[in-house]
Amino acid sequence: MPELPEVEVTRLSFAARIEGARVTGVRVGKPLRWPLGCAPEALLAQTVGAVTRRGKYLWLPLDRGGLLMHLGMSGSLAFGDVDPVPGPHDHFDLVTTGGTLRLTDPRRFGAVVWSPSSETGVAAKRLARLGIEPFDPRFDGAHLHAALRRRKVSVKQALLGGEIVVGAGNIYACEALYQAGIDPRTRSDRISRPRADRLAAVIRAVLARAVDVGGSTLRDFRDAHGNAGAFQLEAGVYGRAGTTCQRCGGTIRRIVQGGRASYFCAGCQRR
DNA sequence: AAGTGGACCTGCTAGC
DNA sequence: TGCTAGCAGGTCCACT
């Protein structure tokens, strides 16, 4: 579910409210992707710092280390007054003096892991391979072109991998390639510099626009206030197989690449 | 080393 | 109506 925009929208919806709060309780539900990595009681009485984001991960600093959180495919965070009776998919509660941060994740591909810092331990291991942030000024056409030149996989798979640039998952990779007019099957090393310039620009624009409208809610995404996103309403290709392209009148197709669905317009996206 | 396919887990929907 | 197969926003790992 959550790609960079959903994670960022989530962060923005609770970061200011949890900062400075003190942990008064921890509840752990069913196992998530990775073990917590510390005794839950060890988190008690610590104060939460400023929540940051790296790719699709959130970093919640504490007095001693912090929590690295990932929403997987179906996770969402709520903060504030949560139901005192946790539901079957509520797998982690961080009770604080400012409210409870609750991870709900039916598929349990998400994670909450303690790490001694964001640059060491488990966090370092998870974040090490991530590519550049799309809003980093150093991410531009030259950067993208140079990275794509080293890969032979399709440009769609290269974007999804997250080792070149983080944040564009299946929805936004499809949308960015659509807006750039690039066929998702194009080999990475065949993307010209002008097309890389355009692609870098639209990746940033698509992700920024999605953050502005609260992310995409395909089924269950909510920010920490419980608000749904609206980007899915303005998607050009994602989930629209068989419909007509708004730009050229062609037909939107669905194919599978690397086991993931890709949506694109056969009329205006070229190799 | 880079590329590929399967694994993780649950819920929903389309189709018979 | 009820069952089943297929599909879903993301990573990681083993294997070639």
Nucleotides of B under 7 A from a protein CB: 2-12
- Tell me what pLDDT residue A23 has: 98
Same CATH fold assignment for domains A4-127 and A141-265: no
Tell me how far apart the alpha carbons of residues A76 and A64 are, in angstroms, rounded to a whole number.
25
- Rounded to two decimals, the pTM is 0.97
Q: Which nucleotide is nearest to A187 (CA to C1')?
A: B3
- A260 catalytic? Reply is yes
| Residue A212 CA, nucleotide C14 C1', distance (Å) | 40
A129 touches strand B (CB under 7 A): no
- A149 catalytic? Reply is no
| Residue A166 CA, nucleotide B5 C1', distance (Å) | 23
May I ask the CATH architecture of the domain A4-127?
Alpha-Beta Barrel (3.20)
| In chain A, where the domains are located | 4-127, 141-265
Q: Please give the order of strands across the beta sheet that includes A76-80.
A: A23-28, A90-96, A99-104, A76-80
Pick the catalytic residue: A209, A247, A254, A260? A260
Tell me how far apart the alpha carbons of residues A230 and A177 are, in angstroms, rounded to a whole number.
20
- A3 catalytic? Reply is yes
**What topology is assigned to A141-265 in CATH?**
Helicase, Ruva Protein; domain 3 (1.10.8)
The model's pLDDT over A253-270, given as tens digits with 9 standing for 90+, comes to 999 999 999 999 999 999
Pick the catalytic residue: A17, A53, A54, A56? A56
The model's pLDDT over A57-92, given as tens digits with 9 standing for 90+, comes to 999 999 999 999 999 999 999 999 999 999 999 999
Q: Which nucleotide is nearest to A89 (CA to C1')?
A: B10
Does the structure show a pLDDT above 80 at A1? no
| Residue A78 CA, nucleotide C1 C1', distance (Å) | 37
The model's pLDDT over A151-201, given as tens digits with 9 standing for 90+, comes to 999 999 999 999 999 999 999 999 999 999 999 999 999 999 999 999 999
- A156 catalytic? Reply is no
| Residue A106 CA, nucleotide B3 C1', distance (Å) | 31
| Residue A269 CA, nucleotide C12 C1', distance (Å) | 31
